[in-house]
Amino acid sequence: MNNIVFGQYYPSGSVVHRLDPRVKLVMVLLYIVTIFFVVDYAMYGALFLFVLAVALLSKVPLRILFRTVRTIVILVLITAVINLFFTQGEEMLFSWKFIHIYKEGVERAIKLALRLILLMLFPSLLTLTTTPMELTDAIESLLSPLKIIKVPVHAIALIMSIALRMIPILMEETNKIILAQKARGADFDTGGALKKAKAMIPVLVPLFVGAFRRADELALAMDARCYSSVAQRTKYKVMHLAVRDLIASLFCLAVFSLVFLNKYLWHFDEMILSLFG
């Protein structure tokens, strides 16, 4: 549970923390789109160096950032195994009875594993360097044109903010319940998968009860303060774009453009092989 980083905030006062949250949100969305256009290992390496550079600028410890990968290890392994054994190609590497492994399957498994890992790292930096309130304001500002067609933009932004804020709270409560159950003699570490799943029932029941209780208390607190999602509100902190936001945007766009140029014009893998071949 402690490995879940998404939704947590790590204050360090870095230049990445001071960037406009709207810029960071748009760059993350463009990054997610760009990932699906990567075609070779050179671009995967370039994007990994890009994420590493942003993490160093944000002063977020790499050990905290890479905890994100632990949460998707099972998903990465399942995806890799499926593509490894069910992808057919021309060059066979291994064959035994009904098991056939092709070179194309190995490459697809590796690339999809790298894609999943990269998809988790950069969005995690967004939540590590941006508070839930800033994310709410950024989402509301970016979706504000939809108010013309009567879309409840503020309510949508509030829902997403509450969901992000509840992730670390629920994880902390889960740890407390597990420790309390262990103190009463519960065993979560031994036995097979079925036994471990049954052992989690005493954890899930109070966790759901606590989640509904928190939701009810939050609703009552908002109602007691006469909260209304349709009211015209002013903001204590007004977001303004600065020079650093422009520089960060241009840098990110340059990296993302490199991926598209490599896909449609250049082929860095072939260039590297020709240089060292």
In 3D space, the residue among 26, 33, 248, 5 whose CA is nearest the CA of residue 135 turns out to be 26
pLDDT at res. 274: 55
Q: Across residues 19-36, what is the average pLDDT? A: 91
What percent of the chain is predicted at pLDDT more than 70?
A: 91
> pLDDT per residue over 232-243, tens digit each?
777 777 788 889
> pLDDT per residue over 147-182, tens digit each?
888 888 878 888 877 887 787 788 888 888 888 888
Single-letter amino acid, residue 217? E
* 201 CA to centre of own chain: 28
Residue 120 in this model has a pLDDT that exceeds 50: yes
Q: Residue 1: pLDDT band by 50, 70, 90 thresholds?
A: very low
Greater model confidence, 20 or 103: 20
pLDDT at res. 269: 55
Q: Across residues 53-59, what is the average pLDDT? A: 91
pLDDT at res. 266: 61
Identify the burial level of 233 via C-beta atoms within 10 angstroms of its C-beta, where 0-12 means exposed, 13-18 middle and 19 or more buried.
Answer: exposed
In 3D space, the residue among 26, 59, 34, 73 whose CA is nearest the CA of residue 128 turns out to be 59
In 3D space, the residue among 93, 251, 260, 56 whose CA is nearest the CA of residue 64 turns out to be 56
pTM: predicted TM-score of the whole model, two decimal places: 0.76
Residue 246 in this model has a pLDDT that exceeds 90: yes
In 3D space, the residue among 147, 111, 115, 129 whose CA is nearest the CA of residue 65 turns out to be 129
Q: Residue 51: pLDDT band by 50, 70, 90 thresholds?
A: very high
CA 41 to CA 46: how far, in whole Å?
9
Greater model confidence, 4 or 97: 97
CA 122 to CA 9: how far, in whole Å?
14
DSSP secondary structure letter of residue 4: -
Q: Chain-wide mean pLDDT for the chain?
A: 82
Residue 210 in this model has a pLDDT that exceeds 80: yes
Quick one: which H or E segment has residue 100?
strand 99-102
Residue 207 in this model has a pLDDT that exceeds 90: no
CA 80 to CA 86: how far, in whole Å?
10
Quick one: which H or E segment has residue 175?
helix 153-183
Residue 2 in this model has a pLDDT that exceeds 60: no
Task: Compute CA distances 1 → 19, 27, 145, 162, 175, whole Å.
Answer: 29, 28, 38, 19, 7
Chain length of the chain = 277
